[in-house]
Structure 1
Amino acid sequence: MSDAAIESRAKEGIAATGGVILDAVGKRFGTVDVLRGVSARIEPGRLTGLVGPDGAGKTTLIRMMAGLMVPTEGRITTAGFDVAAEDPGLSDHIGYMPQRFGLYEDLTVQENLALYASLRNIPAGDRRTLFDRLLDFTRLGPFTGRLAGNLSGGMKQKLGLACALMGTPDVLLLDEPGVGVDPVSRQDLWAMVQALTDDGMAVVWSTAYLDEAERCDTVLLLSEGELIFDGPPDDLTNRLSGRTYHLRGVTENRRGLLTRALDLPTVADGTIQGHAVRLVGRDGVSADALEDFASAEGADLAAVPPRFEDAFVDLLGGGPGGRSVLAERMEPVESVSDVSVSCNDLTKRFGSFTATDTVSFDVRRGEVFGLLGPNGAGKSTTFKMLCGLLKPTSGRATVTGLDLRRATSAAKTQLGYMAQKFSLYGLLNVRQNLDFFAGIYGLPGSVRHDRIEEMVETFQLGPFLDAAPGDLSLGYKQRLALACSLMHRPPVLFLDEPTSGVDPITRREFWTHINGLVGKGVTVLVTTHFMDEAEYCDRVALMYKARLIALDTPDALKRQAATEEKPDPTMEEAFIRLIEQEDANG
């Protein structure tokens, strides 16, 4: 906040904090305590990350900071205003961007800006200059006439940010702005928010991407409604010094090795990183125990620096383990062919617009195949053609040897599909959705009953059977969607951004099931904007502007993107570098 703004606020008799003060804040819905005793200070000119597992209370806390709810206990002061006082002046000093896209999809970019300017009572004479500044800041200038509903995910978030910034607020509240946004667009959002904090604005960024949290000045970590960490992210990360390792020299079956490692009482967490397996040892455990395990597995143990995500999972008690009960109940997939999915010159046009352009690849049985790319690159269109949901303009696609043009119905019985957007039936409760999908896949009565109970137990859906899907938290929505897609135990599974917006614990749970299914011979195709998840893939195809521009293992793609300045890039850095190289090559 500028000195002039502070003087102006002081003259109005308002405490010019420029930030947010949380004083023993609690929130109760009925008999359920969603937040308990949360105290913290969010400073102006700093970026504060708000993180925590699904259901921790992040969205509730942000909505209270915005004055949309009031605390049951304690006090919140936002930009000098007590939110419980319901002072109408509060809205003039905050910007709020909700978790779900909150703009009007049937209005253009320009019309949405004009609407928000009217809601903010921006004088007509000031709007042109303000709009030009926001359009330049968000780089949406060329798209003012486009309907908001036709924007890519990244562009929608930029428009939401522009509308939240209408009137230059003192406090900006962003509820998971990076969800569904590719790394390139997320980098743009990050740069925009960094510029705002440099100008003195207090910014709260709620996120499920812990690499984003790692870049914040301060992190508030919530768990089960309580604040369990408040401070710079490095302070939490450094607690794991000497406890993080790579198992290297793993030539095959990384998933089996990870499963066995997670069974060890000495291991708190583990993930796959390319050809290596990353492990976090439990507190107080020496490296000797892990050395013995590595030696027995024919792998090399190497110490590596801890990450914020390692510390986050460890603070919450560790990961969910490495065994999938669901996969253990499945019979191995039998197939006469080593190729489960194939596409040759696959093309889809909508009028004059080409969404997918001559894409070709094969996916082997029991392979995890990642399809990556920026928003609007053509990933979901390609997925839908491979699932038989869209008819190609040209080209050929097969699933388990069945041509999707000639045997669409038969092919659909061989696959499970989890859509990018939550696609279950809101008028049916959880149990009815499970029963409906079991019926669609033709499961007979006794099998249907047993399979539903299996899914309820596996995904902990028991307490929610009578609830509408729309009333579930995001993590449980995704669990339900995955359960429905697996009801018939398909040999091929298509997952379109299955973990978008869910916390790291839930993501690990999903990948435990995926790794277990792959161990039984299931073929998995997955799109994701979590670059750490791309490391789980055996191979990754990178799409850009409707075409396939790279196809290789994660480690090979990282080597391809290496530079003298970045000899060992992360998967996200490799993603951005390969896109930049494609642009440079014209």
Structure 2
Amino acid sequence: MPANIVAQARGIVKSFGGEKPALGGVDLAVTPGKVTGLVGPDGAGKTTLIRILAGLMTPDAGEVSILGGSPAQRLDSIGYMPQRFGLYEDLTVRQNLLLYAELRGLPRDAQEAVFKRLLDFTDLARFQSRPAGKLSGGMKQKLGLACALVSTPPLLLLDEPGVGVDPISRRELWAMVAELTKEGIGVLWSTAYLDEAELCDSVYLLSEGELLFSGPPADLTGAIADRVISVTGFADRRRLALTKALDRDDVIDGTLQGRAIRLLIGEGHPVPDAAALDLGPDTKVAPTPARFEDGFIEKLGGGPEGTSKLAAAYREIPPSDAPAIEAKGLTRVFGAFTAAKDVSFTVPRGQAFGLLGPNGAGKSTTFKMLCGLLTPTSGTGSVAGFDLRRSAAQARSSLGYMAQKFSLYGDLSVGQNLDFFAGAYDLSGGDAREAIERVTQIFELEQHYKRNAGTLPLGFKQRLALACAVMHQPSVLFLDEPTSGVDPVMRREFWTHINGLVRRGVTVLVTTHFMDEAEYCDQVTLIYRSRQIASGPPDALKAQAGALTGAADPTMEDAFIALIDASDANRDEEAEAA
């Protein structure tokens, strides 16, 4: 193995008995002092490759070398952080560190110094007596990273450490990893967040077990740099404009960005001007910088079309001046802890409303109160005109709910889950059969109909969860991080459906850690430390961030971080004044 490579895989093949191998002859190299990105859609083979490198799985063919030896010979040289939180939730932060230190054979006289360094490094010192199961998502990931580092390995394998983690925690994780690379540690970072891929020194892009691209991220974005455009000037018709643009043969991807849409033009097609797009007399077209995600989507063959099959088959929700969702001073207290305090907002019919906030901020508590899953300590809420305190059953029958974590029955088949939820939503006989057939076709679940839901790939689990939530065609839809962990193409598919439903008059309340998804919302509110700290359209929040930071063109992630930093600064000033 060359001196500048800490880990190398050559021609790795791994099959689990399916039609295609999970890995079909993949090459990869990790260099010391660098972050190597491993990117790909759900089921691409990323986790399989990482487990092979970690020595947890053997390949059917190919060679793996870690510092010149096999993974089994170099286990002490490997730090591994699995995709799902793999620590012991009943043990405290310190007890988990102690367990990993013993497993790694760290001398007891060296443990205290190592623990202090890791607890300071991850900012977990003040939480070392807290059970791991009671940590926020971001803190769990920091603890997982700390446990992987108890022996300071030269190779660190991180399997999607940012999934389900808010932008601030992800920024902190990246800062920690940057410090590790300065020490010469080679890092392999698997990710579903393509803005993270742009931060890597080199990237390997997998799809269905095949390597589609390897090299610096800029090499992928450079190939499409002159084919990305921003389109503005269509006022309140942005969802219709995006739908029309995505249905064109020359547009292979598109997203909403506030009051603009961002389009990727297919290779070989001329970049259309405003007249060619035919989106209205005031439309303006301008080039915009390419992103790694644009190149990624092109490598995968483009995103979905703009017209949603789900929306096309959905009932039209009748207009109403009454708010579809209303929160008035919602507060929830657990013992001495206030999870949400005095949260108030109104969502009109036919809008998408985003609840944003760091892990543990209180947005899920607010979400559950409005769903009728938690009773407010004080305050009131209503859904579809039904008061949650007096008419909770009627409110729940008017909404569809998709939980943050896959909440269907894993031991039941896809068809059995659909049957169960049809009954739960009071569908029976011909109505139930028609609804099940409709969502099965729309979400392409036929091939998995008899398969246990727990064994589905993540993308199909999310499709099934959404299918169950919309089977009864509710007027209000609650989506709690619906795209967490799924690949960008699947995220596009979900938002195509959501945009189409909003145009049919459905009201959507959504939580998300993907700040680009917040751009799809008409209004967002940012919750931090149990309180609302900012509310308004995405462009308004970005403008606030620009005023705070001086940034000329801030993103929603910039706005998220700037507004939270400003809130912290205000709290510090108030504390000093007191």
TM-score, length-scaled by structure 2: 0.96
In the alignment, what sits opposite 2:238?
Answer: 254
From 334, 350, 358, the equivalent of 2:318 is: 334
In the alignment, what sits opposite 1:164?
Answer: 148
Is the 1:539–1:553 contact (alpha carbons within 8 Å) kept by the matching residues of 2? yes
Please list, as runs of the form range in 1=range in 2, the aligned pairs for 1:102-117 lying within 5 A after superposition: 102-117=86-101
Shift of 1:541: 0.3
In the alignment, is residue 24 of structure 1 matched against residue 11 of structure 2?
yes
Q: 1:297 to 1:326 in 2, by over 3 A?
A: farther
Please list, as runs of the form range in 1=range in 2, the aligned pairs for 1:131-150 lying within 5 A after superposition: 131-150=115-134
Shift of 1:206: 0.6
Amino acid of the structure 1 residue aligned with 2:562: R
In the alignment, is residue 570 of structure 1 matched against residue 558 of structure 2?
no
Q: Distance in 2 between matches of 1:485 and 1:369?
A: 18
Is the 1:62–1:173 contact (alpha carbons within 8 Å) kept by the matching residues of 2? yes
SS at match of 2:268: coil
Please list, as runs of the form range in 1=range in 2, the aligned pairs for 1:14-53 lying within 5 A after superposition: 19-31=6-18, 32-53=20-41
Question: Could you list the per-position Cα deviations for residues 492-521 of structure 1 after superposition, in whole angstroms to 9, with x for gaps in the alignment?
Answer: 000010001111000000001101111100
Structure 1 stretch displaced more, 32-41 or 496-505 = 32-41
Amino acid of the structure 1 residue aligned with 2:6: G
Q: Distance in 2 between matches of 1:338 and 1:404?
A: 16
Shift of 1:16: 6.3
Shift of 1:565: 4.4
Question: Could you list the per-position Cα deviations for residues 119-171 of structure 1 after superposition, in whole angstroms to 9, with x for gaps in the alignment?
Answer: 11111111000000100110000000001010000000000000011101111
Is the 1:103–1:112 contact (alpha carbons within 8 Å) kept by the matching residues of 2? yes
Is the 2:315–2:473 contact (alpha carbons within 8 Å) kept by the matching residues of 1? no
TM-score, length-scaled by structure 1: 0.95
Amino acid of the structure 2 residue aligned with 1:486: V
Amino acid of the structure 1 residue aligned with 2:432: R
Question: Could you list the per-position Cα deviations for residues 65-106 of structure 1 after superposition, in whole angstroms to 9, with x for gaps in the alignment?
Answer: 1111111111111232224xxx3x422110111111000111
SS at match of 2:226: coil
Shift of 1:458: 1.5
SS at match of 1:29: coil
Q: 1:164 to 1:520 in 2, by over 3 A?
A: same
Amino acid of the structure 2 residue aligned with 1:252: D
Q: 1:326 to 1:288 in 2, by over 3 A?
A: closer
CA RMSD of aligned residues (A): 1.4
In the alignment, what sits opposite 1:416?
Answer: 400
Gaps of 5+ in 1: 1-13
SS at match of 2:333: strand
Q: Distance in 2 between matches of 1:166 and 1:461?
A: 44
Q: Distance in 2 between matches of 1:579 and 1:82?
A: 46
Please list, as runs of the form range in 1=range in 2, the aligned pairs for 1:359-370 lying within 5 A after superposition: 359-370=343-354
SS at match of 1:361: strand
Gaps of 5+ in 2: 572-578
From 60, 63, 77, the equivalent of 1:75 is: 63
Q: Distance in 1 between matches of 2:190 and 2:527?
A: 28
In the alignment, is residue 584 of structure 1 matched against residue 572 of structure 2?
no
Question: Which structure 1 residue ranges, 4+ long, deviate > 3 Å from structure 2?
Answer: 14-18, 288-291, 294-298, 335-338
Amino acid of the structure 1 residue aligned with 2:565: E
Please list, as runs of the form range in 1=range in 2, the aligned pairs for 1:186-335 lying within 5 A after superposition: 186-288=170-272, 291-294=275-278, 296=280, 298-335=282-319
Q: Distance in 1 between matches of 2:291 and 2:17?
A: 38
SS at match of 2:416: helix
Please list, as runs of the form range in 1=range in 2, the aligned pairs for 1:435-584 lying within 5 A after superposition: 435-563=419-547, 565-584=550-569
Q: Distance in 2 between matches of 1:462 and 1:42?
A: 40
SS at match of 1:82: coil
Is the 1:17–1:79 contact (alpha carbons within 8 Å) kept by the matching residues of 2? no
Is the 1:372–1:541 contact (alpha carbons within 8 Å) kept by the matching residues of 2? yes
Question: Could you list the per-position Cα deviations for residues 169-207 of structure 1 after superposition, in whole angstroms to 9, with x for gaps in the alignment?
Answer: 111111100011001111000000111112111101111
Shift of 1:532: 0.4
Percent identical across equivalent pairs? 58
Structure 1 stretch displaced more, 176-185 or 427-436 = 427-436
SS at match of 1:542: strand
In the alignment, what sits opposite 1:59?
Answer: 47
Structure 1 stretch displaced more, 343-352 or 332-341 = 332-341
Shift of 1:17: 6.1
Is the 1:16–1:80 contact (alpha carbons within 8 Å) kept by the matching residues of 2? no
Amino acid of the structure 2 residue aligned with 1:274: G
Q: Distance in 2 between matches of 1:123 and 1:192?
A: 24
SS at match of 2:44: coil
Question: Could you list the per-position Cα deviations for residues 341-380 of structure 1 after superposition, in whole angstroms to 9, with x for gaps in the alignment?
Answer: 0010110000111001000000010000000001111000
Is the 1:18–1:201 contact (alpha carbons within 8 Å) kept by the matching residues of 2? no
In the alignment, what sits opposite 1:151?
Answer: 135
Amino acid of the structure 2 residue aligned with 1:19: V
Shift of 1:292: 1.6
SS at match of 1:493: strand
Is the 1:266–1:289 contact (alpha carbons within 8 Å) kept by the matching residues of 2? no
Q: Distance in 2 between matches of 1:442 and 1:79?
A: 61
Is the 1:425–1:469 contact (alpha carbons within 8 Å) kept by the matching residues of 2? yes
SS at match of 1:101: coil
Q: Distance in 2 between matches of 1:489 and 1:80?
A: 58
Is the 1:247–1:294 contact (alpha carbons within 8 Å) kept by the matching residues of 2? no
Question: Could you list the per-position Cα deviations for residues 259-282 of structure 1 after superposition, in whole angstroms to 9, with x for gaps in the alignment?
Answer: 100111111110000000100111
Shift of 1:258: 0.4
SS at match of 2:302: coil
In the alignment, is residue 175 of structure 1 matched against residue 162 of structure 2?
no
Q: 1:18 to 1:134 in 2, by over 3 A?
A: farther
Amino acid of the structure 2 residue aligned with 1:22: A
Shift of 1:446: 1.0
Shift of 1:457: 1.5
Question: Could you list the per-position Cα deviations for residues 511-541 of structure 1 after superposition, in whole angstroms to 9, with x for gaps in the alignment?
Answer: 0110111110000000000000000010110
SS at match of 1:339: coil
Q: Distance in 2 between matches of 1:189 and 1:386?
A: 32
Amino acid of the structure 1 residue aligned with 2:459: G
SS at match of 1:260: helix
